[in-house]
Structure 1
Amino acid sequence: MDENLIETGFTTPENYFSELTNNIQARVLSERISAVAPNDGYTVPDGYFEQLRMNIELRTLKERKVIRLWRSSLLKYASAACFILLSAVGFYFYELQQPDKKIVYRDFATEQLLYDIDEQIIIDHIEANDLQQINPAVTEGALENYILNNYTQTDIASGL
């Protein structure tokens, strides 16, 4: 500024202009609240805080009801029987969903019995019954279809 300016004797406080907006908004808000609220401001009824604790205790300490879950032994046994019945039905349907396991175990047992038979017993059986090999009139295509439809890949691979 110019050094020749004459001081007028008026000064502004520090940060006056930066805080001016907040001060104006606070005054306007205060005037709106005082217009809506009574002149005394917010009040509570006489003796409110003295009675507050007693009112809270009266509302929370009402008579408690006790409801027994098992009123009689019959109800206990009936619910246990229902639980066992539902478990058995669930287990039954679970087993029905997995029939492949039973078949696989049966196939393993049959295959194991065949491996346990001695070759000499089979040869003696064939010779005793005088069995002869008959060449059927079957085409190679029919044989291939029969093998593919009746044997798994592991059966075919293990036979090689």
Structure 2
Amino acid sequence: MPIYELECSLGHRIEVIQAISMAIPPCPSCGSEMYKLPSSFSIGKRAVLPPRPEAMPQTWKGTYDGNREYVNSLRKIVDERVKIEERYPELAGDRRPILAHEGRYESAPLRAGDPVIAGAAHEHTPDHAHGHGHGHDHAHGHGHGGSETVPPVKSGLGQKAQD
């Protein structure tokens, strides 16, 4: 169904989505007769949705080293997008914060309020098979279930060479 922009004689404007065959409704503000306005397509303009914030430059270099005119034009575009999203919330997309985006959540990030995929949590035991980013093996105890300790290894760094 087409979207019509309507205006009454007092200047109230609304947009309606309705079939071509339907009668034009009266003004919801004052009850007077409304008229169709020429669409932006018929007067030579194109209706273009401003880009999402994620599509905007994310680096200093992307803003031409902070070029004031360029940054101001980006702000205007973002403001325009915000106004459109306030009017049409379905265009805003999912704005919930992303809690996890790696591993099993790489293709579908975990957002606040989403159910956690079954099996996402696991216990850390000395014999589990994957690393977890803190650069050592599980031969000593540090809360991973083992109680044995390993003495520190001397690296020889910073010592004077001996003859």
Q: Higher Cα Rg: structure 1 or 2?
A: 1
Answer yes or no: same fold by TM over 0.5: no
Query: Normalising by structure 1, what TM-score?
Result: 0.17
Larger relative helix fraction: 1
Larger relative strand fraction: 2
Q: Which has the higher contact order (CA 8 A, sep 6+)?
A: 2
